[in-house]
Structure 1
Amino acid sequence: MSPAPLPPVAEPFQLPFHYGALHMIGVDYLVDPEPVRVTLAKHHPALAAADFAGRALVSLNYQLYFAQYAFGGGITQEIEINIIAHPADAGDRVPDVTYAQYAQGWDQTRLLGIARIHVLCDNPLAIDAGRRLYAEPKHPGWFEVHMPSPNGDTAGRWNVLCKHAETAAGDTLERRDTDVFSLTADLAGLPATPVNNTPITGYGTTDEGRALAGPMVIHQPGHWHPLDTSDTERVRVTVHDETTEAGQDLVRLIGEASPSGAWTYQSAPVAAHQRPYYLRTGPAEVG
């Protein structure tokens, strides 16, 4: 059997794509596997849903990231709706791990990856790159967010509101003032375990029906927060528009399920502009 060719890298993109900074929150839901299998077969027929003690895993992932280019810089926000899955023909190679073990990176095969069902993004360049490089089902959206920051609120509160948008002439984003869905999380005071669950295998399916996988390597550990039913009010996904495919799938896949875990990663500051002070050699004070 001859080696398989690598997927082409579409112009004008280059790989790997390097992140200058990355801030994200993910929320995991252990759910009824049957709706997950139906949805996965529709989007990624070469994949099978991961099995965690008879439950499937749906994961939401909001990202805010910066990238430097030769011509300057760009900031992107996006949110993914994912199903944790593996190649259907590799089931005998997938390790038998619990959800907690998976969340802490025990799967060293990296066969348990994210099968993207919907990705909403506010950067037309990133939308194009995601579609052409990784076969992501990526579409326009924009965001109103509140998140932990060293330049403001440092508590563990996240509020991500995804809103409608369309691509317009000149590869620009045209915002709509209508909500799609929101993710809120208050992780303050919850136990957090440092984890390094990368590379993250991201699965896609091309328009021609060919499955592909692309790894994402995060260079520093993040944090995983185990959750139980008592934390339901701390973390919540709310669908505001059930006429959208993303909204319909969230209702169908998650429903009233309680979150099983949340995970965060925030790039460390690389520099700080400090508070100024007066010089003694300045003009004499008047008084």
Structure 2
Amino acid sequence: MPPVTKQPVFPPADPVFKMPFFYSSLSLIWTYYWVDEKLVLPLMKDTRLKPARFTDPESKGKVLISLNFQNYSAFLGMMISTVNEIEFNVHCYPEKHEAEVPVMSLQDYLYGQDATKLIGEMRLHVPADNAVAVQAGVKCFGERKFLTTFDYMVPTPDAPTVETWAYTVYDPTFEGDKSKALYTLTADLSVIPRRVANPSPLTLYSMLPGGPNRPAGGKDMDLIGSRWNMLGVYDMYLGLTPAQQKSFTLTIGKTQHPMAVDLRATLGKGAKVCAVRVFVSPPAAAENRPYYVDLGKKKK
């Protein structure tokens, strides 16, 4: 009987980028959409993944897609690295494990009730504005990650009057031309009730070898998974009414960049936000305004 070749547990470790990678600060808004299955399946070709299944009536014939915007920092000993990044993801599971994957409501999934952690997010496109982050994403995780620019204004303790999340990611082939956006999103969450949850760890899928010039899947590529832990609680916005959905605007650009093409094919058909996840890491310290020290009565 020939010997059985055992698949290794881990891909080869990168000599430069060490894991785990710790986020020193993190701010994010992730918006979720139901999209017709026939529009998404072509993007999953040869990934060995299948769209996650849900019990919600509105999920029939649909796939869950999310746009995950995040800005974060990392203390790297000799420097502080800052990154703005988006993951354009489809929620799915490895087809080999279909019998083990639960079917649940969107609410239960976003609350982290999938104890198997087989349902995860396949990264379709990942724009970022930090060259080192792009290199790490491609080399370690095979992400279809590319360098570009962003504009954004997001709520933060140091900008207490800002209540609306707003960001734009630009087409990197038109550097400096702000009329060439991949997409713009705004979200006013001030009138939508929130709940708290922590579904960590999150499962993320991608393919090796990868990169921005590679397809999402391929028979010559290996499916890999990884886990991401959020050390805190999210604000969750679920069960959005038609009136609440009007608090969001998604404007997709007309460029021919592959990400914009896929956005128009999936979310450009009038998809509405069905859920939102927000996370803002707490400040590490706070410095208050100065005051005059009382030195007694001033001499005339």
- TM-score w.r.t. length of structure 1: 0.91
Shift, 1:242, TM fit: 3.9
Aligned to 1:257: 271
**Aligned partner (choices 219, 237, 249) of residue 250 of structure 2:** 237
SS for the counterpart of 1:17 is coil
How many pairs does the alignment contain? Answer: 278
Shift, 1:196, TM fit: 0.9
Aligned to 2:224: 212
The structure carrying a bigger strand percent of its residues is 1
CA deviation vs aligned residue, 1:181-224 (integer Å, no higher than 9, x gap): 11110001211111111111110111341110011111111111
Opposite residue 218 of structure 1, the aligned amino acid is M
- TM-score w.r.t. length of structure 2: 0.87
Q: Is the 8 A contact 1:68 1:74 kept in 2?
A: yes
Aligned to 1:34: 38
Shift, 1:236, TM fit: 2.2
Q: CA-atom RMSD, angstroms? A: 2.1
Shift, 1:229, TM fit: 2.4
Aligned to 2:83: 76
Q: Is the 8 A contact 2:192 2:244 kept in 1?
A: no
Structure 1 pair 280/119, CA: closer, same or farther in 2 (3 Å)? same
SS for the counterpart of 1:241 is coil
CA deviation vs aligned residue, 1:35-81 (integer Å, no higher than 9, x gap): 1111111xx52111112242210001000001011212111000111
Q: Distance in 1 between matches of 2:166 and 2:227?
A: 27
**Aligned partner (choices 187, 191, 204) of residue 185 of structure 1:** 187
CA deviation vs aligned residue, 1:137-191 (integer Å, no higher than 9, x gap): 101121111111111135541001111336xxxxxxx654332211110001211
Q: Is the 8 A contact 1:155 1:188 kept in 2?
A: no
Shift, 1:34, TM fit: 1.2
SS for the counterpart of 1:25 is strand
Opposite residue 258 of structure 2, the aligned amino acid is E
Q: Is the 8 A contact 2:171 2:257 kept in 1?
A: no
1:84-123 equivalence runs, <5 A? 84-123=91-130
2:34 pairs with 1:22: no
Q: Is the 8 A contact 1:22 1:266 kept in 2?
A: yes
1:195-206 equivalence runs, <5 A? 195-206=197-208
Q: Distance in 1 between matches of 2:74 and 2:64?
A: 30
**Aligned partner (choices 5, 12, 16) of residue 8 of structure 1:** 12
Q: Is the 8 A contact 2:26 2:281 kept in 1?
A: yes
**Aligned partner (choices 36, 52, 71) of residue 64 of structure 1:** 71
| Unaligned segments of structure 1, at least 5 residues | 167-173
Identity within the alignment, %: 27
2:149 pairs with 1:149: no
Q: Is the 8 A contact 1:228 1:258 kept in 2?
A: no
Q: Is the 8 A contact 2:171 2:255 kept in 1?
A: no
Opposite residue 125 of structure 2, the aligned amino acid is H
Range 264-273 or range 245-254, more displaced:
245-254
Opposite residue 209 of structure 1, the aligned amino acid is M
2:137 pairs with 1:135: no
Shift, 1:94, TM fit: 0.8
Structure 1 pair 275/45, CA: closer, same or farther in 2 (3 Å)? same
Q: Is the 8 A contact 2:169 2:184 kept in 1?
A: yes
